[in-house]
């Protein structure tokens, strides 16, 4: 079951131009190294056995890092398999701005946090809202605009998005 939804999530992300890597927690650091371009900034991931501590990613974020970093690495708290959507919750550690300011966003998501569709994510968010975690961004792919006459990727938000799915969490 988990394998199926992970597969669907990856294929929807591919359709939204989001590359993804599927690894077990033990292989996280190596997978991260593959996709992070320095300088990189991050917010704590809060996933058991998965940490940015011994990586090239600088934590905690500062305004200058937000401005200068090529890559921002954050936890992604949920996913929507149907559309390849990240659910990024706001927190005091700065997950929201780190996922927003740098040119590349690398989102780390536990396979067990994936949801099938918008309906099931809304049901989960309803519980989260009640628990006080009441702000979240549903982000699908890179930021884009058509306002200059044709579609251009990379506007105020990231130009490139990459997902690392932790398959054993």
Question: Which positions touch another protein (CB under 8 A)?
Answer: 60-64, 66-67, 83, 85, 90-97, 100-101, 118-119, 122-123, 125-126, 129, 134-152, 154-158
Strand spans (E) along the chain: 19-23, 40-42, 57-58, 71-76, 78-80, 85-89, 104-110, 114-115, 136-139, 144-145, 152-153, 160-166
| Nearest residue (CB) to another protein, 48 versus 126 | 126
| Nearest residue (CB) to another protein, 1 versus 92 | 92
The distance of closest approach from Cβ of residue 127 to another protein in the complex, given in angstroms and rounded to an integer, is 10
| Nearest residue (CB) to another protein, 107 versus 157 | 157
- Give the SS3 label for residue 16: coil
Q: How far apart are CA 7 and CA 122, in angstroms?
A: 21
The distance of closest approach from Cβ of residue 88 to another protein in the complex, given in angstroms and rounded to an integer, is 10
């Amino acid at each position: 079951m988990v394998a199926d939804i992970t597969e669907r999530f990856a294929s929807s992300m591919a359709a939204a131009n989001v590359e993804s890597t599927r690894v077990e927690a033990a292989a996280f650091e190596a997978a991260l190294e593959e996709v992070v371009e320095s300088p990189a900034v991050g917010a704590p991931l809060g996933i058991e056995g998965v940490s940015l501590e011994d990586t090239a990613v600088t934590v905690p974020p500062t305004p200058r890092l937000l401005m200068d970093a090529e890559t921002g690495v954050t936890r992604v708290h949920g996913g929507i398999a149907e559309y390849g959507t990240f659910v990024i919750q706001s927190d005091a550690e700065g997950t929201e701005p780190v996922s927003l300011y740098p040119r590349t966003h690398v989102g780390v998501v536990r396979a067990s946090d994936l949801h099938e569709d918008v309906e099931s994510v809304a049901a989960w968010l309803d519980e989260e809202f009640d628990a006080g975690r009441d702000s979240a961004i549903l982000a699908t792919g890179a930021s884009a605009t058509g306002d200059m006459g044709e579609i251009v990727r990379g506007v105020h938000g990231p130009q490139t998005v990459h997902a690392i799915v932790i398959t054993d969490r």
